[in-house]
Amino acid sequence: MKVIIRSLFLLIIGLFTLQAYSQTLNPAPDRRANEGEGPFQRLIIRGAIVIDGTGAPAQGPMDIVIENNKIVSMTTVGAPKVPISESGRPTGATKEIDAHGSYVLPGLINLHAHVGGAAKSPNAEYPYKLWMAHGITTIRGVPAANIDWTRSEKKRSANNEIVAPRIVAFHTLGSGEDWKGGPVNTPEKAVEWVQYAAKKGVDGIKFFSHDPEVMQAAIDEAHKNKMGTVAHLAQTMVGRTNALEAARMGLDNLTHFYGLFEALYKENDIQPWPADFIYNDEQDRFSQVAYNWDKIYGRGTKQWQALIDEFLELDLILDPTMTAYLASRDVMREREAEWHQTYTLPTLWDFYKPSRINHGSYFYDWSTWDETVWKNFYKVWMSFLNDYKNAGGRVTVSDDASFIYNLWGFGHIEEMELLQEAGFHPLEVIRGATLHAAQAIHEPKGKKLEFGIIRPGMLADLVILDENPIENLKMLYGTGTLRLNNENGDLERVGGVKYTIKDGIVYDAKQLLRDVAEMVEKQKSDRGEK
């Protein structure tokens, strides 16, 4: 009987996951002739200040030479605030970008991405352009959408037939339109599904709620097939597998925070839920989880340090997605974010509003009590992330849009700001969003880095902006930020990505945002809204 009940539960979870990503989602249109220039035989970016993604300080001015889709050379051409000597600068450009005084970063990488669906955004072009407008040139879909749909879009993006980030495809156990094996509820079924997924070109597995023996078998088989693994350890699972136990199984990445606090409990083995708690009531689910904040062995204890030490030994990468829950500590701030009016689709806005049906729309009766608990939770969570980073652990950047007032692209930059709040230097934040994220993608495959840092031989995935992101990460927002002009006393909006370069193709990032704004206005017009 227990086996039957468990199988039914897993089937329900699987069907819910499938339903969430099977809603009508239109593929991106073919890239138009006026969308992006290149790749060029020999593109030279002139006079740039380079933040290379490794954690090294900014360097420059530099000339960066790109041939087709690869960086071939980087040449220091002088010193700041003095005229550049033309002697020794690379020549023979078929295209040049004047980047004197501008900053160049590696393309940003989002390790926790979902593309959408009819209830939120019926067209994939919308999130793609939001990501690209924010310098995000690679996403790891967990999942992006259904397997066959994602496989098609992944190929089209790789061929640059569409305006979209590079797509790395992770999928959940048991998913697949032509999977005939039924629920994955035994180790044997887990092995069978991983082999099926490998043949479909799936890059890795996203775990939610599974029996430990099933998860262990899937992880082992995934690694045999050079596939990565990431887990959202659902609250329905952490009673049997917390973050440490999952890491001991060989899990590569932990996303969100589920299972982390449970590995540090002082007096409980599972969270002491209220007697009337029901998981499917999402206000209960998302409010009560924050009450973990004071139930653990805290910062400075031997248990806290022991968990960090073992995570380091196991080489677990943390992908926190703090922005995904940011509204929980200040719902008004996220609901009223300045980009919603121009860049949030009405359908997505409908999805965000409090609802007992839509996932993540749980603010039925959100209170100051709830927000206070979440603020305490963030303090502890951030402390752990910073301590883990300081000990040598890798922490990456993702947005997990589009739930909980969290908009594609904008949420990614919010996550970067949250890591700085946690104690990260902006260079450490950028390293998490580039090098460390790239390692999370390449290492399971046993491949050398192809992107994620600025080096000769790397793919030409770059971000160019006129302002210094180390001085202010807000400069990466599509909306930029406001700054007082001390000469005339006017407030000016400054910042935003100027160019996003993917595979050597140069995109006008601000035009991509204008395209998004037009999509929003069209949907408002179609609905009769002003």
Q: What's the pLDDT score for residue 23?
A: 54
72 class by beta-carbon count within 10 Å (0-12 exposed, 13-18 middle, 19+ buried): middle
Q: What's the pLDDT score for residue 117?
A: 83
Is the pLDDT confidence value at 101 over 60?
yes
Task: Note the pLDDT tens digit of each residue in 167-188.
Answer: 999 999 999 999 999 999 999 9
Task: Note the pLDDT tens digit of each residue in 504-528.
Answer: 999 999 999 999 999 999 999 999 9
Is the pLDDT confidence value at 224 over 50?
yes
Tokens encoding 86: 């033309």
Q: What's the pLDDT score for residue 11?
A: 39
Task: Note the pLDDT tens digit of each residue in 47-67.
Answer: 999 999 999 999 999 999 999
pLDDT level of residue 118 (50, 70, 90 thresholds): confident
Task: Note the pLDDT tens digit of each residue in 230-276.
Answer: 999 998 989 999 999 999 999 999 999 999 999 999 999 889 999 99
- In Å, what is the CA distance from 406 to each residue of 239, 326, 343, 521? 29, 8, 12, 19
Per the omega criterion (within 30 degrees of 0), is the bond before 57 cis? no
Tokens encoding 329: 């500590």
pTM: 0.95
State the average pLDDT over residues 396-415.
Answer: 96
Helices 426-433, 410-422: crossing angle, 10 deg rounding: 130
Do 451 and 106 contact (CB within 8 A), yes or no? yes
Is the pLDDT confidence value at 3 over 80?
no
Q: What's the pLDDT score for residue 317?
A: 98
Residue corresponding to tokens 């409908």: 350
Percentage of the chain modeled with pLDDT above 90: 90
Collapsed DSSP state (helix, strand, coil) of residue 24: coil
Is the pLDDT confidence value at 17 over 80?
no
Distance CA 197, CA 173 (A): 9
Is the pLDDT confidence value at 144 over 70?
yes
Output the average pLDDT for the chain.
94
Is the pLDDT confidence value at 18 over 80?
no
Q: What's the pLDDT score for residue 412?
A: 98
pLDDT level of residue 397 (50, 70, 90 thresholds): very high
Residue 373: name the closest of 322, 328, 334 by CA.
328
Q: What's the pLDDT score for residue 365?
A: 93
Average the pLDDT over each of 42-56, 101-115, 132-146, 280-294 and give the range with the smallest value: 280-294
156 class by beta-carbon count within 10 Å (0-12 exposed, 13-18 middle, 19+ buried): middle
Strand 40-50 vs strand 95-98: parallel, antiparallel, or unpaired? Answer: parallel
Residue corresponding to tokens 């709830």: 370
Distance CA 256, CA 207 (A): 12
Dihedral sign computed on CA atoms, order 20, 23, 29, 30: positive
pLDDT level of residue 20 (50, 70, 90 thresholds): very low
CB atoms within 10 A of CB 49: 19
- In Å, what is the CA distance from 176 to each residue of 146, 171, 207, 296, 345? 7, 9, 15, 39, 29
Residue corresponding to tokens 């709620």: 209
- What number of CA atoms fall less than 13 Å from residue 353's CA on the CB side? 7
- In Å, what is the CA distance from 339 to each residue of 321, 479, 509? 20, 7, 16
pLDDT level of residue 9 (50, 70, 90 thresholds): very low
Is the pLDDT confidence value at 116 over 90?
no
DSSP assignment letter at 65: E
Task: Note the pLDDT tens digit of each residue in 286-301.
Answer: 999 999 999 999 999 9
Q: What's the pLDDT score for residue 153?
A: 98
